[in-house]
Amino acid sequence: MRIGFLLNPVAGMGGRVGLKGTDGKVAEARARGAEPRAPDRAGRAVNALAERAPDAELFAWDDPMGAAEARAAGFDPTVLGSPADADGAETTAADTRRAVEAFLEADVALVLFVGGDGTAADVAETLEGTDTPMLGVPAGVKVYSSVFAVSPEDAAYVAATFDRTERREVMDIDEDEYREGEVHPELRAVAHVPVAEALQSGKQTSAGTVESLAEGVADDVRARPETTWVLGPGSTVGEVKEELGFEGSPIGVDVYRGGDVLALDAAETEVLGALGDDNVIVVTPIGGQGFVFGRGNPQLSPAVIRECDLEIVASRDKLDDLRVLRVDTDDPELDEALRGWVKVRVGRFERRMMKIV
């Protein structure tokens, strides 16, 4: 396997000295006595990779952006370039982008990078329009994106063993706002990432990610104009309704198809009357309880549910507070059919497995 290996050597330096990040603060971090942590984490990743995939062909950027760590692990990397600063004292986002462009020209099968969300955004934006996957070794202060492995060793395992990819979100925040206590994650890119259990979930701490979830559902709705969409109650699904351009009933069920609202605050009979040949229910579980059906949405009766496919959406915060999901439709046979593992949409493209019991 051909792997492009890239290190942001200053990632995470600001954390231990109280800067809550390193963007624009490298000099101040060093003045406060900060020590680089990313090179050590890079070393752990490539050492583990050497154990699992010793025949991997590594492409790297010159020191201090990964070549030394690759050699120390026993690889003989092909060095494709070097930072613009000849001494390597400072590296920039432009260096990261140049390296990724060179990796693409070398036709690598994976870009394995060490850094934080800012580095992830630079890598992902450079890879945009390609199918080349990326995978992060977490080294930043803030790691909100879901393109990172849980640990350096996990990154090596995933890099050596993955056989398929999925699309995941790259998030970033404004560090100056973060230092003032304001956290507003923003979607920077969507990247191809190896499918693996050893990847972290993206963090959701504000409505920004719920908004991206709603945008993703709305994109699906617009792409399927012949489908009838039964939109349940709750603020999360309410965001979908707003994204589609109408003011829905916050605690009711609305029906939508092909740009038209067919029913607002619909009763069961109105929902059934509006259904077509292809129907999807979009519903969010009740926070703290986990009920998908049977609490707060009786309009979504067994007769309605049996006519529809199911799309469950929820913020990550809500799912973090729930061990399982539940159903209570008044139809035990239907309840049993609904039980089992399901994918819950938590982002524009991301889903999390949850069990209905």
Q: Is residue 205 within 8 Å of 185, Cβ to Cβ? A: yes
Ordered alpha helix ranges (H), the chain: 26-31, 38-52, 67-72, 93-105, 117-127, 152-161, 175-179, 207-223, 235-244, 268-274, 302-306, 316-320, 332-338
Strand pairing of 254-257 and 228-231? antiparallel
Q: What is the mean pLDDT of residues 334-356?
A: 91
Angle separating helix axes 93-105 and 117-127, nearest 10 degrees: 40
As beta bridge partners, residue 111 has 4, 134
Work out the average pLDDT over 263-275.
93
pLDDT of residue 131: 96
Q: Would you state the pLDDT for residue 206?
A: 39
Tokens of 204: 């959701």
Residue that the structure tokens 């693996």 belong to: 196
pLDDT of 176: 53
When pLDDT is averaged across residues 187-214 and rounded to a whole number, the result is: 74
* pLDDT greater than 50 at residue 85: yes
**Beta-bridge partners for 99:** none
How far apart, in whole angstroms, are the C-alpha atoms of residue 163 and residue 280?
Answer: 31
**Contacts of residue 209, Cβ cutoff 8 Å, sequence gap at least 6:** 169, 171, 185, 187, 202, 315, 316, 346, 347
- What does residue 311 show for φ and ψ, rounded to 5 degrees? -120, 115
* Mean pLDDT, residues 30-55: 86
- Residue whose tokens read 């020191």: 63
Q: How confident is the model at residue 23 (pLDDT cuts 50, 70, 90)?
A: low
Q: At 217, phi and psi to the nearest 5?
A: -65, -45
The dihedral built from the CA positions of residue 148, 151, 154 and 160, taken in this order, carries a sign that is positive
Is the model's pLDDT at 162 over the cut of 50? yes
Residue 348: how many other CB atoms lie within 10 Å = 20
Confidence (pLDDT) at 25: 58
User: In this predicted structure, which of 17-21, 197-201, 240-244, 320-324 has the lowest mean pLDDT?
Assistant: 17-21
User: What percent of the chain has a predicted confidence (pLDDT) above 90?
Assistant: 59
Task: For 235-251, write each residue's pLDDT tens digit.
Answer: 999 999 999 999 998 88
pLDDT given for residue 188 in this prediction: 87
| pLDDT at residue 208, as a whole number | 41
> What is the average per-residue pLDDT within 314-338?
89
107-116, 179-188, 255-264, 318-327: which has the minimum mean pLDDT? 179-188
Q: Does 137 have pLDDT greater than 80?
A: yes
Band of residue 198 on the pLDDT scale cut at 50, 70, 90: low
Mean pLDDT throughout 133-142? Answer: 85
- Record the tokens describing residue 22, joined without a space: 């390193």
Is the pLDDT score of 355 beyond 80? yes
d(CA 81, CA 98): 8
pTM: 0.61
Structure tokens at 129: 């329009």
